[in-house]
Amino acid sequence: MSGFLPIIKRELLAYFRSPVAYVFIIIFLIANAGCTFLLGNFYDSQQASLEIFFLFHPWLYLFLVPAVGMRLWAEERRSGTAELLLTFPVRLTTTVFAKFSAGWLFIGISLILTFPMIWTVHFLGSPDSGPIITGYLGSFLMAGSYLAIASLTSSMTKNQVISFILSVIICLILVLSGWGVLSETLNSVFPVWFSDMVSQFSFTSHFDAIRRGVVDIRDLVYFISIIVIVLMVNVIVLESHNAS
Amino acid sequence: MISVNSLSKKFNNLLAVDQVSFEVKQGEILGFLGPNGAGKTTTMKMLTCFIPPSSGNAEICGYSILDDPLKVRNQIGYLPESAPSYDEMLVGEFLKFVAEIRGYSGMELKRRVGIVIEKTSLNDVENQMIDTLSKGFRQRTCLAQALLHDPPVLILDEPTDGLDPNQKHEVRCLIKEMSEEHTILISTHILEEVEAVCTNTMIIAKGKVVGYGTPDELLSRSMYRNSVTVSLKDEEPRKLLNEFNQLDFVYSVEHLQEDRENVVTMRLYPNNKESISMKLEEYLFEKKAQLEHFSVDRGKLDEVFRQLTAVD
């Protein structure tokens, strides 16, 4: 585990030294507000809850999280610092998880900055704090899954743009597979168990329950195992990259 | 300290390093010489456990690069080819980060960072963004990073690449200084560098070792070894050339320069590359020749280099 904290510290410093971090946070906050109040007609729903706020997160993350993750490894390889980082006496697994954790923390910070939403619903009524807490937890876990995928695609290329596009496509598939319209289409062609299976792999179907305040251990396991498995693949990709 | 045993690396169908074996003992500076693309960097990347070898093994301070990569990395200070470092960090921050990752903290960390900043003369730029540094300072920052943990083995990939002559001189002095406590492997394609700093030299071409020895041993392979260049004032240069050709210790004479004001410059090649300077001096003294220039060549490394690495 040695090396874990220094790497997280350095990554976070790298985020906040570049203007991209501030641009990201501002866009994230504006997009959140825009989706909730304009697209989601928050006031018309007449509910003091954050359900609508969280409803759009799978779609927001689709573009924003790959933007956070695309530089994780691509930049390291492009500038040659990978050769330094990977010749320090630190296990590759530690390095991969540390870099991921830094990005995840950064997204977590952005998520915390949406706290005015909590004020708003408290001002408008007396919301149930359970779904708010689980909503944030679920959203954070889901962001982690997106980021793990972005980290993986970032390790496959020196080019950040390619990394971004790849991870958007993979995440899009994982979001769409839980989409009602797609399930119905699949149902008409394939047996029901098939479309069920497809939607089981989706971010949205697992996030929906948590968003509503229902914490099923299986949903948590889903997100955590996506993160762990994808990051392990990330380690293997980096290893095989160097080997060939 | 470093012992390499038939190390090979294959990239797809390209054999980048082919059965390379060598040893570097405590206190030695081995100069790793070869044309671009000969496999120098690849070998170094394998020794620092950045890439795994396709076959073969190497030991650094007794630890195998295959079985104990983390321990190997603890023994090595590595300066990669382009001297990479994180642009968005201050020099001091960067060194502190490396010290932390190497497991130091508190006073010990401060002390170590202080020492390497002193050693590499980075005092003036400690609080400067790496992004804004000149090439020379970047090189030194990356070198400082390699020295932090006071490693027994240093692996430096083209440490003077892209530096101006003053900076080159500084880095070479630094390397020489460090050789007292460290075993050093440096790669370069600058030949003067080898003569300036290395105790041993290894020449590789197309992934194979084609020459090994002290710089002097390699120089003795040169066709210019012990040849003598003389400039004489004489009325009849043609005759003079002939005279020298007759001498029993001279194998051949090469007329080097067009005559100006009756000065002839020629290079005399000895038989079997023996030293002929004494005999020649005596001869010139007896002849009462008007000598303008007299120099003995130890051999030309670039010529040996071309001999050994030429593509046939």
Provide block-wise average pLDDT over 10 residues at a time, chain B (312 residues): 92 89 91 88 93 93 93 94 92 96 94 93 93 90 94 92 84 86 88 85 90 86 85 77 80 76 82 83 82 85 83 58
Q: Does residue A134 form part of some domain?
A: yes
Residue B190 three-state SS: coil
Chain A residues in contact with B142 by the CB 8 A cut-off are 84
**How far apart are the C-alpha atoms of A105 and A144, rounded to whole Å?**
9
Number of domains in chain B: 2
Same domain, B110 and B253: no
Residue A244 lies in a domain: no
Do residues B187 and B87 both lie within one domain? yes
B203 & B252 share domain:
no
Tell me the residue range of the domain where B232 lies. Answer: 228-296
Q: Which residue of B has its CA nearest to A87?
A: B50
Most A-contacting residue of B78, B86, B91, B143 (CB-CB within 10 A), to test interface: B86
pLDDT of residue B34: 87
Is B101 close to A244, i.e. CB distance below 8 A? no
Let me know whether B137 and B205 are in one domain. Answer: yes
Quote the CA–CA distance of A11 and B16 in Å, as a whole number: 34
Both tokens assigned to B307: 């001999």
Does residue B136 lie in a domain region? Answer: yes
Residue B308 within a domain: no
Residues B194 and B114 in one domain: yes
The CA distance from A207 to A57, in Å, is: 9
Q: Rounded to 5 degrees, what angle do the CA atoms A69, A71, A77 make?
A: 135
What's the pLDDT score for residue B50? 92
Pair B198, B256 in one domain = no
Domain that holds residue A147: 4-239
Query: In angstroms, rounded to a whole number, what is the distance separating the alpha carbons of residues A177 and B281?
Result: 92
In the predicted model, residues of chain A with pLDDT beneath 70 are 1, 243-244
User: Does residue B97 sit at the A interface (CB-CB below 8 Å)?
Assistant: yes
Query: Is residue B47 domain-shared with residue B99, that is, in the same domain?
Result: yes
pLDDT, tens digit (0-9, with 9 covering 90-100), for B258-271: 666 778 888 888 88
pLDDT given at position B91: 96
What distance in Å separates the CA atoms of residue B141 and residue B84, rounded to the nearest whole number?
Answer: 9
Q: Pull the structure tokens for residue A105.
A: 């923390």
- Give me the residues of B, 112-131, that contact A with CB < 8 A: none
Q: Distance between CA atoms of A54 and A37, rounded to whole angstroms?
A: 12
Of B214, B248, B272, the residue at which a domain comes to its end is B214
pLDDT at residue B271, as a whole number: 84
Read off the amino acid at residue B303.
Answer: E
Domain final position from B169, B184, B214:
B214
Which among B214, B236, B252 is the end of a domain?
A: B214
DSSP H stretches of helix in B102-164: 106-119, 135-147
For residue A244, the chain B residues in CB contact (below 8 A) are: 11-12
Say what the pLDDT of residue B312 is. Answer: 53
What pLDDT sits at residue A82?
A: 92
Contact yes or no for A244 and B98 at CB 8 A: no
In a domain, A198, yes or no: yes
Q: What is the pLDDT of residue A1?
A: 62
CB contact under 8 A, B50 and A5: no
CATH code of the domain containing B278: 3.30.70
pLDDT tens by residue, A77-133 = 999 999 999 999 999 999 999 999 999 999 999 999 999 988 888 888 888 888 888
Residues B258 and B159 in one domain: no
Q: What is the largest CA-CA distance in chain A?
A: 60
What is d(CA B202, CA B185) in angstroms, rounded to the nearest whole number?
Answer: 10
> What's the confidence (pLDDT) of residue B259?
63
Inter-residue contact B64 to B58 (CB < 8 Å) = yes
Contact A89 B73 (CB under 8 A): yes
CATH number at residue B126: 3.40.50.300
- Are residues B81 and B195 located together in one domain of the fold? yes
Give me the pLDDT at residue B238, please: 75
How far away is chain B from the Cα of A13, in angstroms, using its nearest Cα?
A: 8
Closest residue in A to B16 (Cα) is A244
pLDDT on residue B78: 96
ipTM value of the model? 0.88
B84 CB within 8 Å of a chain A CB: yes
A chain contacts of residue B78, beta-carbon cutoff 8 Å: 83-84, 87
From its phi and psi, is residue B222 left (phi > 0), alpha (psi between -120 and 50) or beta? beta
Q: How many domains does chain A have?
A: 1
C-alpha–C-alpha distance, residues B81 and B161, integer Å:
8
B70 part of contact set with chain A, CB < 8 Å: yes
Q: Residue A112 burial (CB < 10 Å; 0-12/13-18/19+)?
A: exposed
Residue B241, domain member (yes or no): yes
Question: 3-class SS at B151?
Answer: coil
For residue B11, give how far its alpha carbon lies from the nearest alpha carbon of chain A (Å): 6
Sheet hosting strand B55-60, strand order edge to edge: B14-24, B2-11, B55-60, B63-64
Q: Which residue in chain A has the smallest CA separation from B145?
A: A84
pLDDT digits (tens, 9 = 90+) for B48-87: 999 999 999 999 999 999 999 999 999 999 999 989 999 9
